[in-house]
Chain A
Amino acid sequence: MLKTRIIPCLDVAEGRTVKGVNFVDLIDAGDPVEQAIAYNAAGADELCFLDIKATHENRGTMFDLATRTAEQCFMPLTIGGGVRKPDDVRDLLLAGADKVSFNSAAVADPDVIARSADRFGSQCIVCAIDAKTIGTDADGAPNKWGIFTHGGRKAALDKDGNLIDAVAFAKLIAAKGAGEILLTSMDRDGTRAGFNLKMTRAIADAVNVPVIASGGVGNLDHLVEGVTEGHASAVLAASIFHFGDYTIQEAKEHMAAAGIPMRLN
């Protein structure tokens, strides 16, 4: 049986791990390669590096991190941040990434996903979606989510000036060949209030590719909810692991006890 994945995410800026609250107020949290090695030993199912200040000058730093990590961690590594074109995918794959994540560039031009998937295969093309609640139904429950780009600073608008709907966009990029969607709730990111479950479920149920739930994990029950209520195939978290609140094994055992198939050995 396929197991639900736990993915520790390292937000990287200038070669160091940082973790922001609502995408700002960065706190230094250490050396990414050392952390990757520790997570590999701890039985993490995948690793994710997000270059949150992906400027041109920082690219070399990210390649170096990817290379050093891939030499020591024989597990899947996804890298995102500042990925704009198929050649960027190639450079990161050659440096040691197994999957590469698009974000802003895919919103600006969804065909970049198709061009990249055609060249490298869907299995290594992830599309990260950062979304925020923008609409509610008559009872006040959230039922519409809009996309933001550039680390959450910029609302993504369609040609008519409307916020791009996250569910429709997820379907579009899955059809273009994205092999996986990394869905971050900007309402929840860094708040430790739990995933945006309604949004996660709306998107996970709308596409036939795996959805990784991200943004807002504060305790182990949140990880469980992401799967049972959010229908996510994988859960991503940063702070709860980096700062030692919980170990990967504790998280896996907690999820397994809740009836979710996990890789425990």
Chain B
Amino acid sequence: MLTALVDYDSGNLHSAQKAFERMARETNAGDVVVTSDPEVVAKADRIVLPGDGAFPACKAHLFDHTGLFEAIETQVTQNARPFMGICIGMQMMASTGHEYTQTAGFDWIGGDVVHIDPKDKALKVPHMGWNDLVIDNPHPVLDGITTGEHAYFVHSYHVRVTDTAHRLAHVDYAGDITAIIGRDNMIGCQFHPEKSQAAGLRIIANFLSWAP
């Protein structure tokens, strides 16, 4: 079993790598590699796409690596390998990003990535810190995670899904903020499971044993 963490020069992979390695060890889920090599992605059993920063820059960085996105897309949409996007890696799963400029996403899950606009104007953006999840749709990767569990967020944009069946969890920030999206063999977390202490490690372990 091989889990590939895709490195495309966007953000901090170190904590994600350490968290996935730790849980792969604890659950006998095989090896975790950090890679930007399309050939390694093509052989991976699971794929994780992290990412920090602005949507257009992250997308550009990803596409700077020749063949990398094509390898990911083949694995996820044709070979049905389990996929997890984290933060911007999750946002890119949607149809269109609206940060700075309009940028096409992968369009795997219909929806737009829009600026957070809390109804209470005293609330700060970025939405930064621990917020409690409200589970909308149960999912194997959320096994053992109940409404009220906290996760660590840091972001200014979030995904508005077209089909509510694809929103698995949200949090409240004077209005709903999408926390987890998914369909078929793909899931995306707006928060950082690798920084969300026990709850985050549980989600990572669940992902590593998920057989969609």
- Interface set of A (CB-CB < 8 Å, partner B): 1-5, 40, 43, 45, 67, 70-71, 74-77, 93-98, 118-124, 179-180, 208-210, 233-234, 263, 265
- In the complex the two chains form, is B126's CB within 8 Å of A1's CB? no
Q: Is the CB of B124 within 8 A of A210?
A: yes
- By the criterion CB–CB under 8 Å, are B129 and A210 in contact? yes
Contact residue among A71, A98, A180, A209 (Cβ-Cβ distance under 8 Å from B195): A98
Which residues of B have CB within 8 Å of A119?
53
**Is B128's CB under 8 angstroms from A121's CB?**
no
A121 and B201: CB pair below 8 A? no
A233 to B123: give the CA distance in the assembly, Å. 10
Q: A74-B19, A123-B128, A233-B124 are in contact. Are A93 and B12 (CB under 8 A)?
A: yes
CB atoms of A45 and B130 under 8 A apart: yes
Residues of A within 8 A of B52 (CB): 120-121, 123-124
Q: Which of B65-73, B89-97, B151-159, B161-169 contacts A (4 or more CB under 8 A)?
A: B151-159
Is the C-beta of B200 less than 8 angstroms from some C-beta in chain A? yes
Q: Please give me the residue from chain A that is nearest to B127 by CB atom.
A: A2
B131 and A75 contact, CB distance less than 8 A: no
Within 8 A of A (CB), among B111-155: 123-132, 148-150, 152-155
Provide the bound-state CA to CA distance between A234 and B154, in Å.
Answer: 14
A209-B129 contact in complex given A75-B195, A97-B12, C-beta closer than 8 Å: no
Q: Within 8 Å CB of A75, what residues of B?
A: 152, 195-197
Complex alpha-carbon distance, A180 and B128, angstroms:
9
Whether the Cβ atoms of A123 and B14 lie closer than 8 Å is: no
Q: How many residues of B contact A (CB 8 A)?
A: 39
Q: Report B's interface with A, CB cutoff 8 A.
A: 11-12, 14-15, 18-19, 22, 52-54, 57, 123-132, 148-150, 152-156, 171-173, 192, 194-197, 200-201
Q: B148 — which chain A residues lie within 8 A by C-beta? A: 265
B11 and A120 contacting across the interface, CB-CB below 8 Å: yes
Q: Which residues of A contact B172 (CB under 8 A)?
A: 1
Tell me whether B154 and A93 are in contact (CB under 8 A): no
**With A40-B197, A96-B15, A98-B195 as given contacts, are A210 and B130 in contact (CB-CB < 8 Å)?**
no
Given contacts A98-B12, A210-B129, contact A70 B18 (CB under 8 A): yes
**Complex contact B154–A179 (CB within 8 A):** yes
Cα of A233 to Cα of B153 in the assembled complex, Å: 14
Closest to A205 in B: B122
> Could you list 30 examples of A-B contacts with CB < 8 Å?
A1-B132, A1-B173, A2-B130, A2-B131, A3-B129, A3-B131, A4-B129, A5-B129, A43-B197, A45-B129, A45-B130, A70-B18, A71-B18, A74-B15, A74-B200, A75-B152, A75-B195, A75-B196, A76-B195, A94-B12, A97-B12, A118-B54, A120-B11, A121-B52, A123-B128, A208-B124, A209-B125, A210-B128, A263-B130, A265-B149
Most buried by B among A4, A74, A234: A74
B130 contact set on A, CB distance < 8 A = 2-3, 5, 45, 263
Contacts of B129 in A (CB 8 A): 2-5, 45, 210, 233-234
Docked pose: A95 CA to B129 CA in angstroms? 22
- The distance from the CB of A100 to the nearest CB of chain B, in whole angstroms, is 10
Q: Cα distance A95–B13 when bound, in Å?
A: 10
A208 to B115, CA, bound (A): 14
Closest chain B residue to A43, Cβ basis: B197
| Residue among B129, B171, B194 with most chain A CB within 10 A | B129
A135 to chain B, nearest CB (A): 27
In the bound complex, do residue A179 and residue B128 qualify as a contact, i.e. CB atoms below 8 Å apart?
Answer: yes
Does A74 contact B149, Cβ atoms closer than 8 Å? Answer: no
> A93, A94, A209, A265: which contacts B150 (Cβ < 8 A)?
A265
Q: Bound complex: CA of A123 vs CA of B50, how far in Å?
A: 14
CA distance A234 to B153 in the complex (A): 14
Residue of A nearest to B123 (CB): A2
Contacts of B123 in A (CB 8 A): 2
The reply to whether A123 and B15 form a contact with Cβ atoms under 8 Å apart is: no
Shortest Cβ distance from residue A62 to the other chain B in the assembled complex, whole angstroms: 14
Note all chain A residues with C-beta closer than 8 A to B194: 74
Q: List the A residue with the shortest CB-CB distance to B128.
A: A210
Taken together as a complex, chains A and B put the C-alpha atoms of A261 and B189 apart, in Å, by 23
